[in-house]
Amino acid sequence: MKLSALEIASKVAKKEVSPTEVIEAHIARIEEVNPKLNAMVEDDFVRARKKAHEQTDLVAKDNSDLPPLFGVPFTVKEMFAYEGMKRTGGSIHHKNDVMNWDSTLVTRMKVAGAIPLGTTNVPELGFWFETFNPVYGRTNNPYDLGRTPGGSSGGEGALLGAGASPIGLGSDIGGSIRMPAFFCGVFGHKPSRYLFPLTGHFPFGQEDFLELSEDKYPWTSTGHLTRKASDLYPLTKILMGADQSDIYTMKNPSLDELTSEWAGRKILICPEPAFHRARGTDQELAQVVRNCGKLFSELGAEVEELDPRFFVRSAELWFAALKHSKRTNLYELLMGPNQHLSVGKEILKLAVGKGDYTLPNLIVSLTEIFDKSKKDFSAEMADLYKMKADLDAKLGDNGILLIPPHPRVAPKHRQPLWSPFDFIYTGIFTTLGNPATVAPTGLNAEGMPLGIQIVAKHMKDHLTISCAELIEQTFGGWTTAKP
């Protein structure tokens, strides 16, 4: 239960363990922890067992030329199309939607030999960094059930942190892979923009991207979470590249090989970044960044501290980027097709525990209803692109940035409502298009995961992942949660 996906696949290929034994071990762990976590919302155990038996019979006859993830279980964020399973996006208007096709990333995992176990919980419409919705309820952090696992890939983070899944598919627009990875003590990778296809991610169908202009292409990035750093790179290679639907994904991307050479490399650190509207960084997380900077200095890297105000306008620019590209208001998506929603009435219903929607979505919907302006965001987009160019210039081709993934460790349930802009620690790197990886760095005095975010230039994913592997070797990586 503590092995990487590659280690599991190796043991299966060597006939040291069967796919059936692997699947049963993970199903048993899910059944043990899920009643406390509410992380898996729909299981696919019947089909998973059938597929594992088929693979067990196959490997017994011939273990040559097996695909790279043969016999490895994985889990899927509920916002991905997954044949035979629901894709509700946590919305009551989609609670009965069952998909008859697989998203591209699910297909690629299956082709690689991996076996899906089921789907995991998300916030309503994937909007918010707590995982709670009116369809499936609230998900808890495996290290402290009174805390959030983050969002929107919170179900994935919780299951992986508890050792119930070795790898999972997630997605990220404001940090929705990296915050759950950090809060739950595992690894999460948001790849470079346009590296992974979005086909099949809620609310998109198979043909939707053929009709989009590039300036309306979503900022959402699909990606993955793992409990071991060694799985990040091979999974990136398996999942990257264009499909037949998402015409904006890079057609033949190529990643450089991993590196262990850090001498002379430029390392930027930003222990206490100043983000307008967000909290300041807690000292224990600022110290993690300084400790990692010291590690690289000892390895001969050129460590330099970035001006903490470099990202100060990030929240403003992130919102501008999303508004510039959006085709549909959250309000229209929230209320469902051909329906009228009284936001004020729904807020009152929520106050007495009878609401059909979550408060963050209602608040944003209310602002959309009253904001009828047609703003031109060209100035903000120019400033965003300048921030990207300035960061790229500071990083160079082979540098990395070390920065906290959040201002504090996983907060208590509902606390993010009082500090709603803290997501920007991760969110800005989605709209900048940089690859960004979160790696755990041990537990604090309360037993909650600490971690760091690693950023590099576009298509330098190999650098952030190489750094994550070094940090795992140095600080120990994932520690199994015991909810």
What is the set of active-site residues?
Answer: 77, 152, 176
Rounded alpha-carbon distances, angstroms, from residue 55 to 28, 112, 169, 254: 19, 12, 22, 31
Task: Using alpha carbons, list the distances in angstroms from residue 257 to 237, 260, 461, 467.
Answer: 11, 10, 10, 13
Cβ atoms < 10 Å from Cβ of 398: 16
Which DSSP symbol is given to 80?
B
Cα separation, 387 vs 393, in Å, equals 10
The one-letter amino acid code at 379 reads A
Strand partners, 40: 120
The helix (H) or strand (E) run that includes residue 267 is strand 266-269
Q: Where are the beta strands (DSSP E) in 8-140?
A: 40-43, 73-77, 115-120, 132-133, 137-138
Cα–Cα dist 387/310, whole Å: 8
What gap in Å lies between CA 245 and CA 222, rounded to an integer?
15
List strand residue ranges (DSSP E) for 376-473, in order. Answer: 400-403, 436-443, 449-456
Single-letter code of the amino acid located at 151 = G
Burial class (CB in 10 A: 0-12, 13-18, 19+), 72: buried
